[in-house]
Amino acid sequence: MSRPSRAFPGALLLAVALAGCSGIQTPLDPAGDQAALSDVIWRTMLWVCGFMYLLVLGFLGWALWRARRRRGAEAPPAVGHTQAEPALERSLTGWAALIVLGLTGLTVASFIVDARLTREAPNPLHVKVTANQWWWEVEYSGQPSDRQVVTANELHLPAGRPARIELRANDVIHSFWVPNLSGKEDLIPGRVNRLTVTPRRVGVFRGQCAEFCGLQHAKMALDVEVQDPAAFEAWRAHQIQPAADPGTPSTLLGRQVFLGKACSLCHRIAGTDAGGVTGPDLTHLAARRTIAAGTLPNGRSALAAWIADPQGIKPGTTMPRVTLTAKELNALVDYLETLR
Ligand code: CUA
C-alpha cells in the first residue's frame, strides 16, 4: 500500500474549507441584502483580527529572536526592567493605540450593520411563519383574495422585494435561519418576532431550525425558493386555487379515504371538507420539494412510506399511523399526487 502524500491532509482541509464558501445553506454565499451585510461585518472582523493576530505573532517572534541573540552576547542580560528602552516603549504605545482603534472601528461597524438590519423596508411582502414540532407553517397575507395562501415547509419569495416575516411558535422555542438570506431569529411561544429579508438572487436555498427544539430538531428544514416577481405571482395565484377534483376511480377512492379516516382531522385540503389545522395544509402538497419538513424528497414512494410508518421515519412526530389496506394506501397516494 502506498503511503498517502504529505500534501493530502492539507489539500483535504482546503477543499473542505472552500466547500463551505458556496452552496444553498451557507452564510458565506449571500443571496440577499441582510446576509450580505452579515458577510461584510464578518469579513471586516476576520481581516482586522487576522491582521492584529499576525502582528502579535510577528512581535513575539522578534522578542524571541532578540532574547536568543542577547544570550549569545558577553554581558549577562539584566533581570527585570532596569532601563527605559525607547524603541520598545514606542512600539507598545503604538500597539495599544492600534488595539483601541481596531476595537472602536469594529464596534462602530457592528452598530451600523445592526441599525441597517433592523431598518423597516418600504412596501414589504407580509409573510407569517409559524414553527411547530417539527415543521413550518407559511402564510401569505395582505392580498385581496378569497383564500389565504397557506403552505408548509416551503417559503416562496420574490427577488428584489423585501419580505417582512412574522415569526411565531406553537409549542417550544425554535429559530428561523436561512443562512444565504439572513441571520437567525428565534420563534417564541406567545410572542411575535419580526425579520426582514430582501432576497436578490433567484434560486433555491435551505433553511433550518437553529434552536434545539426536541427529538426531531434536526429534521426541521425549510426550502426557500426565490423567484422572479412574475413567477412568484404565478405561484401565488395557483396556490390560491382550491384542490382539483379527482378524475379517476382511484383518486376518487383516495379522497374518500382521506376524508373518511383520521387524515382530515389534522390536515386541510381547500375545496374539500378536510379542515384540520394541527398539521400542514395539503392543498398543493404535490408541488412541494420535500415532505415532513425536508425529511424525504417528495414523491410517490416517499409519500407511501411516510403514511405507512411516520413514527419509523421521524420518531416523535405528531403524525399518527393510520391503519389502511394496501388498496387504500395506493389510492390515497394517487389522490395526494394530484394535489399540484
Ligand atoms: Cu425547531 Cu429546532
Distance 301 CA to ligand 1 centre (A): 26
Q: What is the pTM of this model?
A: 0.86
Q: Which residues line ligand 1 (CB under 6 A)?
A: 131, 134, 174, 209, 211-213, 217, 220
Give the DSSP H or E segment for 125: strand 125-132
Closest atom of ligand 1 to CA, residue 172: 1
- At 1 the pLDDT is 40
Distance 89 CA to ligand 1 centre (A): 53
- At 2 the pLDDT is 45
Distance 115 CA to ligand 1 centre (A): 27
Q: Is the pLDDT of residue 81 over 60?
A: no
* Beta-ladder partners of 196: 164
Secondary structure (3-state) at 252: helix
Q: What percent of the chain has pLDDT over 90?
A: 77
Q: What is the band of 112 on the pLDDT scale with cuts at 50, 70, 90? A: very high
Q: Is the pLDDT of residue 142 over 80?
A: no
- At 67 the pLDDT is 87
Closest atom of ligand 1 to CA, residue 218: 2
Q: Is the pLDDT of residue 31 over 80?
A: yes
- At 118 the pLDDT is 86
User: Among 39-48, 71-80, 210-219, 271-280, where is mean pLDDT lowest?
Assistant: 71-80
- At 63 the pLDDT is 86
Q: What is the band of 20 on the pLDDT scale with cuts at 50, 70, 90? A: low
Q: Is the pLDDT of residue 76 over 90?
A: no
Distance 319 CA to ligand 1 centre (A): 17
Q: How many CB atoms lie within 10 A of CB 240?
A: 17
* Beta-ladder partners of 129: 138, 167
Residues 195, 182: contact at Cβ < 8 Å?
A: yes
User: Among 68-82, 131-145, 305-319, where is mean pLDDT lowest?
Assistant: 68-82
Q: What is the band of 89 on the pLDDT scale with cuts at 50, 70, 90? A: confident
pLDDT by residue (tens digit) across 166-176?
Answer: 999 999 999 99
Q: Is the pLDDT of residue 130 over 80?
A: yes
Cα–Cα dist 157/160, whole Å: 9
Cα–Cα dist 227/230, whole Å: 8
- At 17 the pLDDT is 64
Q: What is the band of 85 on the pLDDT scale with cuts at 50, 70, 90? A: confident
Q: What percent of the chain has pLDDT over 70?
A: 89
Q: Is the pLDDT of residue 80 over 70?
A: no
Q: What one-character DSSP code corresponds to residue 324?
A: -
Amino acid occupying residue 30: P
Report the chain's C-alpha Rg in angstroms: 28
Q: Report the chain's mean pLDDT, rounded to a whole number.
A: 90
User: Among 13-22, 36-45, 81-90, 320-329, where is mean pLDDT lowest?
Assistant: 13-22
- At 19 the pLDDT is 61
Q: What is the mean pLDDT of residues 301-317?
A: 96
Closest atom of ligand 1 to CA, residue 214: 2
Q: Is the pLDDT of residue 283 over 90?
A: yes
